[in-house]
Amino acid sequence: MDFDGVGELLARSIAAERQTDVFALLEQARVAEVLSRHGVRFAYLFGSQARGTARADSDLDVAVRFDGDRDADARFGVALRLGAELEAAVGITVDLVDLEAAPLRLVGRILTERLVLVGQDDPERVAFEVRQFKLAVDFEHHAAELDRALLGAMARGDR
C-alpha cells in the first residue's frame, strides 16, 4: 500500500472516531479517570464497541500505552489490575491490550478502528500512530503472502 492508501485508512479511522454514542455508553469520564490512575499515556477503544456493532454480550476492547519505561512484567501486573478496575467501572468484560506487547497485525487493526479514550492531544500518541501504522501496512503485505503459502501447504496436505 502506498502513502496515499495509508492516509485514506487514517482518514476513515478519524471519521469513525467522531461517533459520540459509544462515548455516552462507556461513560468516558469514568473510564479516562481509571486509565489515568494507572499511568496510561494514551488509550484506545477498538472492536465492536468502537465500530458501533456491539451486542448485549459484547466485551469492551481497550488498548493502552503506559507512561515511563516499565518492563513487560511490570506492565502485565498493572494491566491485570487496570482490567479488573475497568470491568468494575463499566460493568462489562474488558479485554485489555498492552500496545507495547501486542502483535503488529493487532496494532494495525486497533489503529484502523480506534477511538481515542486518553491522550487526544498527545504528540507522542500521534507519532506512535504514524510509526506503527506504516509498519503494520508494510507488514500486512508480507503476512498475507505467508498466509497464502500456509493455506496452500495445508490444502496440499503438507501441514
Q: Which helix (H) or strand (E) holds 118?
A: strand 115-118
Q: What are the pLDDT digits (tens) for 26-63?
A: 567 788 889 988 999 999 999 988 888 888 888 889 99
| Sole residue written with cell 462489562 | 92
Task: Judge contact between 16 and 47, C-beta under 8 A.
Answer: no
**69 has pLDDT over 80:** yes
Determine the pLDDT at residue 68. 82
Domain count, the chain: 1
51: CATH? 3.30.460.10
What values do phi and psi take at 4, rounded to 5? -60, -35
Helices (H), the chain: 3-17, 21-26, 28-37, 48-51, 72-90, 104-113, 123-156
**114 has pLDDT over 50:** yes
Q: Which of 73, 118, 65 is nearest to 96 (CA)?
A: 65
Confidence of residue 78 (pLDDT cuts 50, 70, 90): very high
Determine the pLDDT at residue 128. 92
**13 has pLDDT over 70:** no
Domain containing 81: what range?
3-156
Lowest mean pLDDT of 8-12, 111-115, 141-145, name the range: 8-12
Determine the pLDDT at residue 8. 53
